[in-house]
Structure 1
Amino acid sequence: MAIRPKAAETVDVLVGRTDECRVLDELVDAVRDGRGRATVLRGEPGIGKSALLHYLGERADDLQLLRATGTEAEAELPFAGLHQMLGSMVALIDDLPVPQRNALRVAFGVEPGGPPDRYAVGLGVLNLLNRLAVERPVLCLVDDEQWLDRSTVLALSFVARRSTTAAVGFVFASRRDALELQGLPTLTVPALSDRHARVLLDSVLAGPLDPSVRDQIVSETRGNPLALLELPRGVGPAALAGGFRFPGVMPLPQGIELGYQRSLEALPETSRQFLLLAATDPVGDPTTLWSAASRLGLGPEAATPAVASGLVTVGARVEFSHPLARTAVYRSADLVERRVVHEALAAVTDPGSDPDRRAWHRAHAVAGPDDEAADDLERSADRARSRGGLAAAAAFLEQAATLTTDTGDRIRRLIAAAEAMRDSGSLDSALVLLETAGLRSLADEHAARIMRIRGLIMLEQHRHVEAVELLLGAATRFGERNPVEATETMLEVLLAAIWDAQPADLPSDRVLEAVAATLRRSSDPPTLTELLLHGLHVRINEGFVAAAPLLRRGVDALVAAAPSDRWSGFGAFRLMLMLPEELCDEEAWGALVLRQVAACRRDGALGVLPSALSFASFYRIYEGDFFAAESMIDEANARAVMTPGRSNRHSEVIVSAWRGDEFVTRKLTGEMRRLIAAGRGAHGLCADYADAVLANGLGQFDVALDAAKRVFVADQLPLGSAVATELMDAASRAGALEELRAVGNWLAERVAVLPSSWLTGLHERSLALLTDDDAAESHYVASIEALSRTRGRLEVARAQLLFGEWLRRRGRRGDARRHLREAHRGFEALGAQGFARRAARELQATGDATVRITERRPAALTAQEAQIAALAGDGLTNPEIGARLFISRRTVQYHLRKVFMKLGITSRAQLPQALPGRGAGDASEPGAASAS
């Protein structure tokens, strides 16, 4: 099982480290060619030395990698680091010359003796590594050299200077200019450039950040990657508020905070106020600072001690020694002191060029309700929302609500803040605000809006029973007083019922009756929402033929609607997925789902972006572009972890089924069904559909038939045409004529009212499968021709496969080979390995000996997954892995879950046995699957 990337594979270069990676690549190439090299990576803590070592480990995966990492606890133990690197090779020592053998045996504690001769130890290590290099080049990676014991450093540096003619390489990572390493080539790892620092910071932020605040953070972290990664850790989009709440919300370890407090206590009161003024303005503009200081009567004499303390510098910009110093200064002040400096900053901030920052400072300067300040904040929220700053908009609205005197306006602003928080991904914060608003609300319309937002949050959390009840209650409360929101909410009720429930349960009669009551109040002509609601209601009650004209008009109206229209809610994604697929309209499907992904990115709607990506990935699967689908799935899952939102397994399980990955598919479908049984899952028919795809690819047609029948009989959107393909295939091979006729009639009904190349191709295929004589051939040809006009490359390959199988069974081997080869090439190119193997078996049955059936193997780990798995196997925690690789701990957790799934393990303790070269066999240690 290949799970580690080979050297020839591409390994991603670290952000801002192109030059350093190139030097390390050259070192590895030299060692491979038998030319020993050594390099010392030198730089401050957190600058990225460990990350470069791990990059090198991936780049040199075909070499023998020997590692040692210094620890303060063992810094005084002679040869502790050497034992860490070479202790497993004690048996090889016996082949060395006697003086070297004895010296190493004493150094490793194998036999007693006085301090070994250091020269003999060095020669012993040199000979040992040279002998290893005869079999395969050796690369020694030494991290945290400054904490290694001196005996080890002397021995390794001795060898590094003398290995120029052997395939042995050394890379040391150190914070210091070590005397023992003098003479070895040194590569100083510099701070990241501002541009690269911004890229790195943006990669770990859960939401957009005010550019001026981001630039200030970049400046104060001075290009240190670890500082950039640690700073936003644990701070969600709602807390950061686009940068307006910085620095007050930044996490601050108690020990660091106490240290800064002691420095502050030693300063005069005026200097502390000057520092507080500087800390409260996160932009670092010296003109603003001095203007505000002047209003407070603070001059250069107040700044001098503050600058002398080393906490701050004032030049072209105002910079703290570290962003945490800024946070400590702000937290050290009480509310009254903060109000004073906010008032000064508000007074000197230009309302024309920076109205939002002025409004923010002014709001924090007032001691009680202030409607004028609240109005300014609401206008700032509108501006923030228009430029994609939903988290900032939520913060503005929340603060505006606290300053509002009128109860109705206050509740309205709280609800708007909660809605912005939901869209930005801060679901828990949104629920807290809704609870606050609900305690104060008496008006039915406010209560209805609160219920609606809560219902949508429940829907995103897969709590669909609660979601339907809340949304239904909200729609009822809106009633005739607000028909627009009543109709929108009722549409969300129906969509929640269709998508998230078991087919036997919903839509219930109560839901359908409520929808009918809403439709009786429809306007003439109907609005887009009313048109969609009517079409879905008719589809459920009367069937496809009656609903088709309404659904066609609804989809056309959706495509024509401006992107800024009110379709950012969760229900809209289901519309974009269900209705075009129901109509077999690939143009509308692609246009809608891809447009919605772009809109989420533009608007900063990070809370709904994971869902948009997941639903768009279904379209990519239809196209046969698994790479694009998996990229969307990976981003959706990573975003869901960061915001936090929810991970979506539906498209992921379907990709794994098409890839023929039996282990991953079974694992995912089992997980989906367990969640549904626990009341936390959604749309379990996706699991049945995935089972059908997998089984048809494997040639298990009875299994595929049972799974596909469950989906087809349920007649639940949006899997109709997709499962029709699987049911046709399985029924024809399993001899289930009744099911084959049923799906044929289903397709005939649809193609009669809404003809398209997609539907026509499927219908012609059903006619071919239902025809016993030579007339079937014309239907197969017509199916291939129609589907070739679509983007559905999987369907084209499937049509070629079925035609080829039919031709082979009729003894037309030459004709069969032509179509089976087309099918095999198509499936292979797309990565649909299960069906590629099926086509290969059919080809072999025709006597074609040129095709090979690829063995089914578990999915290989990606380079990053292998790297993370290796570190976790070494015992590192998620935060430690994240710090070394410059990724968030939640991203580590996400990748570890994928590693566990691919390796078939359930705990970190099993990693050493599961990773090749680290153990043998499969560990059977029990434990709940945990990647945390």
Structure 2
Amino acid sequence: MRLFGRETECATLDDLVAGIRHGRSASAVLRGEAGVGKTALLRHAQGSAPGGLAINGAEAESTFSFAALHRLLIPCLPERARLPQTQRAALEVACGLADGPPPDLFLVSLAALTLLAAEPRLCVLDDAQWLDRESLLALAFVARRLHAEGVVLLFGWRAAPGDDFEQLAGVPVIEIGGLGRDAAVALLADVAPAPLDPGLAEEIAVATGGNPLALTDLGQELSTAQLGGASPLTEPAPIGSRLEAHYSAAVRRLPEAAQTWLLLAAAGAGATGGQILEAAAGLGIGPADAEPAEDLRLVAGTPPVDFRHPLVRSAVYGDAPAGRRRAVHRALAVATTHASDADRRAWHLAAAATGLDEEVAAELERCAERAGARGGVAARATFLTRAAELSPAPADRAARTVAAAEAAVPAGAPARALRLLDEVDDALLSGPRRGSALMTRAMASVTTGTPGALRDAAAMCLAAAGAFGDAEPDRTREAVLLAMHHSITAEDLMRGVTGEQIAEAARRLAGPDPSGPADLLLAGFAAFLTGGIEQGAPAMRRAIAALTGPELLLSHFQLGVTLCTLLWDDESRRVVLRGAEDAARRSGALHTLDLVHFMAAMDDATLGRLRDADRHDAVGQRLRTAIGVTADQELIWRHPELVAWRSGPADRAALLPALDVFDMLGVGAMRSVTLHSIAVLDIACADYASAKRLLQPMVELGRPGRYARVLPDLVECALRSGDRRTAALAHADLAVAAGAAGTTWADGLQERSKALLSSPDGAEPHYRSAIEILSGTRAVGDLARAHLLYGEWLRRRRRRRDARLQLRAALEVFEAEKAHAFAARARAELSPLGETGPTPVPESETALTPQEAAVARLARGGGTNAEIAAHLFLSASTVDYHLRKVYRKLGVRSRRQLREALHD
């Protein structure tokens, strides 16, 4: 097939397809308006790589979860036995091949990646805008993770106003526009049945915008007189949205039986040929009625029917009278009797309904539950929405609408959830239904980034707990735990509820003698909210110890991390984070895994372990790329501590805009972390007065509470700015908090602060004690700062040799971790002593990338390529590619040599 004016696009596709033979992978979306030639270009690519996989999105299947993915993978499914067990189980449930718990989307996605990457191939997905949401998200994940498998994944996407293209974020886009004037004229001349007037040809090329489908149809439909320029053209030319109207007009001129046959074919996409014929017989029509449409080249094949263009299908269905449409769906429902087609039958019954119908609504509700069991959260929301629309009883309609909204949030449609909730009459909601509505509204508002949503989320969850009450104790407990989570995120920006009110609800649920893990968590955080660290520490430790088991870790690791941070318990914090990471990896919960790495990066940055923080940050960035987080969304994932440690005085202003964003969103925790980070940078730059202005409002001196973690820095900056009284009060609070925490890290910080406040003759033992204690912790940043403060104290005591030893020790850590401002301060202290410290060593050109380093570490630990691939959510071929680069960079040839050559 000759393609006019598509030399550039064809060359691009040829290059992508050629990479298959060399083990290169690629993905791309061909995006353009209807009729612009996306399908022709995809067929060109297929001609260069025969034997690949290809499917078309079907509008009628867009509500059936994983339907498109199943169709694509049918040739690969016999190989699923080679998949890791968790991936295989998830894929089989998603495709309806086995029963089991609802599968995680990303485990299904990884299974698809593993199967598709088993051999080099081209995969084509045309009309991707009509793929069901779960399949599209899974295949977008695959597209973003392809690297060195020799797999090329191409999507065709019809651009339209308001289309939801975000699901393919991160996949390269090739915009397909209309043909240039010369190419358009050449195509028109090629398809016209008679000689073409040159002036008319240019007029048509301009009028159609170079749309190939419009040009082809016009060229074949114009009369000889029109082609020769003797008769005027019909206005306006059929292009864009007018193309569908053009086809609608052609369909309306057909006999009624032909129109009904076309409508049956359009509504029955996904039905078998036998079902179509049975439905046709029920309507009194047959394949012979398609002949007039075939003569106009609108369709071919009987059945299954192949429409000339998806626009023809849209025109047929969209322009059909409502009564005829209902009749066709009723006939299809009668013909759809197999148990495996129950969802499709229910959907046809819903489309055939002439009014409210409880029987159909109930069947759709059952379809929703089946979809949810397969992991089809988007399909579940769609079925429930339609069930609500058909519900005769107002109370049932309200209940199903709330359930649809509840399903829309995990389906990635929080705005839709809010719209559904806005349709509900609150007077019809009481008890658990009201609780579900409140919980869903809180979650949806937070997810959409509604300004102030986080400020109100805790209050809404606590109100939901009251609505659930004793009728649903598990959901009541879940609501109070979520209120705690939201209070942790909002911190001092929370409104509508107090910490004491949350604590009271938690205490009441936990009871006087809590024993279960969830109750211990409730009791532990309640104890802190009411009694602070001093009184709450024992209950907080019990809560942390209870945080075991994958399900609990996945749901509440943030609460555990918060309790560990309040107690300066870095060892327990590391255990919680590692447990949560393992649970998230095993279950395929990539959003949770991303959050785990985000919090792990914060943990390491707090400890001054900036290289480890970099590693977690790099993993998080890769995960966010894989799951399609956009560049704008990525901004919220910046690590203020890491940025501050790595910054210099000139970079301070870059941290300030984030404060306004966090204030607008109500993310008080990140706001306080950012303020603390800026203060640490100010301390590094010896701007103590500025640091004190930032830190002092964060604490309530005399009552060490949520922000006790800033007390060591407040002691230093207050004392150095001449405010000894504030420094002494902060130290007194620190002593109380450290004593209650009982951790080595807290003891070391307390000793360091005591040294600052001690008399000149009494400071040295405390400096030495602080260094000795902190040397036994992972807090290398605080240890280095202790060396720095001690070195500064020694230099001012004119003990030059001792000062050099301490300042060198500090500088060595700061240089290794690239803590630029603190390193500059240490050098400034060393300079009067006759040295400036080592010059930073530039990174080698052979340094491993974060992805290579991750692969190398796992290989060093004995992981096979398949195990590493599952761990990093890659294909085994990509792991092999990175490992070969690691070997080359490090000059090794085996895993055994790698263990000897690779050092963290």
**Shorter chain as normaliser: what TM range?**
0.5 to 0.7
CA distance in 2, matches of 1:673, 1:195: 51
Give the CA deviation at 1:415: 1.5
1:254 aligns with 2:254: no
CA distance in 2, matches of 1:305, 1:805: 94
CA contact under 8 A between 1:277 and 1:293: conserved in structure 2? yes
Give the CA deviation at 1:709: 2.7
**Structure 2 counterparts to residues 468-617 of structure 1, below 5 A:** 468-497=458-487, 499-500=489-490, 502=492, 512-513=500-501, 515-516=503-504, 519-520=507-508, 522-523=510-511, 526=514, 528-560=517-549, 562=551, 567=555, 572=556, 575-583=559-567, 584=569, 585-591=572-578, 594=581, 602=589
CA contact under 8 A between 1:701 and 1:731: conserved in structure 2? yes
Partner of 1:781: 771
2:351 alignment partner, one of 355, 364, 386: 364
Partner of 2:68: 211
CA contact under 8 A between 2:398 and 2:424: conserved in structure 1? yes
CA distance in 2, matches of 1:412, 1:831: 56
2:834 alignment partner, one of 847, 851, 860: 847
CA distance in 1, matches of 2:432, 2:31: 54
Distance 1:224 1:494, change over 3 A: closer
Give the 3-state SS of the residue equivalent to 1:428 in structure 2: helix
**Structure 2 counterparts to residues 669-818 of structure 1, below 5 A:** 669-673=656-660, 676=663, 684-713=671-700, 720-721=708-709, 723-724=710-711, 726-727=713-714, 730-731=717-718, 733-734=720-721, 737-742=724-729, 744-756=731-743, 758-767=745-754, 769-770=756-757, 772-787=762-777, 790=778, 794-795=781-782, 798=785, 801-802=788-789, 805=792
CA distance in 2, matches of 1:799, 1:195: 63
Partner of 2:111: none
Opposite residue 771 of structure 2, the aligned amino acid is V
CA distance in 1, matches of 2:278, 2:834: 88
Partner of 2:105: none
CA distance in 2, matches of 1:206, 1:769: 66
2:616 alignment partner, one of 600, 606, 628: 628
Partner of 1:109: none
CA contact under 8 A between 1:197 and 1:225: conserved in structure 2? no
Give the CA deviation at 1:395: 1.3
CA distance in 1, matches of 2:626, 2:648: 22
1:452 alignment partner, one of 439, 446, 452: 439
Listed one character per residue, the Cα deviations across residues 443-487 of structure 1 (whole Å, up to 9, x for unaligned) are 344334323332344445333454455445444444455554445
CA RMSD of aligned residues (A): 5.4
CA contact under 8 A between 1:370 and 1:404: conserved in structure 2? yes
Give the CA deviation at 1:362: 3.8
Distance 1:471 1:481, change over 3 A: same
Query: May I ask how many residue pairs the two structures share in their alignment?
Result: 660
CA contact under 8 A between 1:359 and 1:377: conserved in structure 2? yes
1:427 aligns with 2:414: yes
Opposite residue 454 of structure 1, the aligned amino acid is R
Distance 1:564 1:354, change over 3 A: farther
Distance 1:728 1:401, change over 3 A: same
Distance 1:343 1:22, change over 3 A: closer
1:220 aligns with 2:77: no
Partner of 1:402: 389
CA distance in 1, matches of 2:830, 2:812: 12
Normalising by the residue count of structure 2, what TM-score does the alignment of the two structures yield? 0.59
Opposite residue 68 of structure 2, the aligned amino acid is P
CA distance in 2, matches of 1:818, 1:198: 69
- Structure 1 residue ranges without an equivalent (≥5): 1-13, 27-44, 50-143, 145-174, 177-186, 239-251, 856-861, 863-932
Give the CA deviation at 1:441: 0.8
CA distance in 2, matches of 1:545, 1:581: 14
Give the 3-state SS of the residue equivalent to 2:420 in structure 1: helix
Distance 1:237 1:433, change over 3 A: farther
CA contact under 8 A between 1:16 and 1:192: conserved in structure 2? no
Listed one character per residue, the Cα deviations across residues 733-775 of structure 1 (whole Å, up to 9, x for unaligned) are 5465555555555554455444445445544544554554442
Give the CA deviation at 1:660: 0.8
Opposite residue 423 of structure 2, the aligned amino acid is T
Identity of aligned residues (%): 27
- Structure 2 residue ranges without an equivalent (≥5): 1-11, 74-122, 129-151, 168-238, 843-848, 850-904
Opposite residue 390 of structure 1, the aligned amino acid is V
CA contact under 8 A between 1:590 and 1:619: conserved in structure 2? no
CA distance in 1, matches of 2:838, 2:575: 39
CA contact under 8 A between 1:458 and 1:466: conserved in structure 2? no
CA distance in 1, matches of 2:51, 2:795: 64
Partner of 1:134: none
Give the 3-state SS of the residue equivalent to 2:551 in structure 1: coil
Give the CA deviation at 1:15: 11
Listed one character per residue, the Cα deviations across residues 183-233 of structure 1 (whole Å, up to 9, x for unaligned) are xxxx999889998999999xxx99985434885995434999673384796
Give the 3-state SS of the residue equivalent to 2:547 in structure 1: helix
Give the CA deviation at 1:416: 1.8
Partner of 1:264: 251
Opposite residue 697 of structure 2, the aligned amino acid is R
Partner of 2:880: none
Give the 3-state SS of the residue equivalent to 2:163 in structure 1: coil
Opposite residue 696 of structure 2, the aligned amino acid is K
Give the CA deviation at 1:500: 2.0
Give the CA deviation at 1:418: 1.0
Give the CA deviation at 1:394: 1.3
Partner of 2:107: none
CA distance in 2, matches of 1:778, 1:552: 29
Give the CA deviation at 1:255: 2.7
CA distance in 1, matches of 2:682, 2:160: 48
Listed one character per residue, the Cα deviations across residues 249-288 of structure 1 (whole Å, up to 9, x for unaligned) are xxx9523432342443355544444444444455586666
Partner of 1:380: 367
Give the CA deviation at 1:48: 9.3
Opposite residue 581 of structure 1, the aligned amino acid is T
1:235 aligns with 2:141: no
CA contact under 8 A between 2:561 and 2:577: conserved in structure 1? no
CA distance in 2, matches of 1:338, 1:260: 18
Listed one character per residue, the Cα deviations across residues 91-121 of structure 1 (whole Å, up to 9, x for unaligned) are xxxxxxxxxxxxxxxxxxxxxxxxxxxxxxx
Q: Which moved more, 1:758-767 or 1:533-542?
A: 758-767
Opposite residue 463 of structure 1, the aligned amino acid is A
CA contact under 8 A between 1:343 and 1:361: conserved in structure 2? yes
Give the 3-state SS of the residue equivalent to 2:691 in structure 1: helix
Opposite residue 688 of structure 2, the aligned amino acid is F
Give the 3-state SS of the residue equivalent to 2:424 in structure 1: helix
CA distance in 2, matches of 1:486, 1:707: 38
CA contact under 8 A between 2:54 and 2:72: conserved in structure 1? no
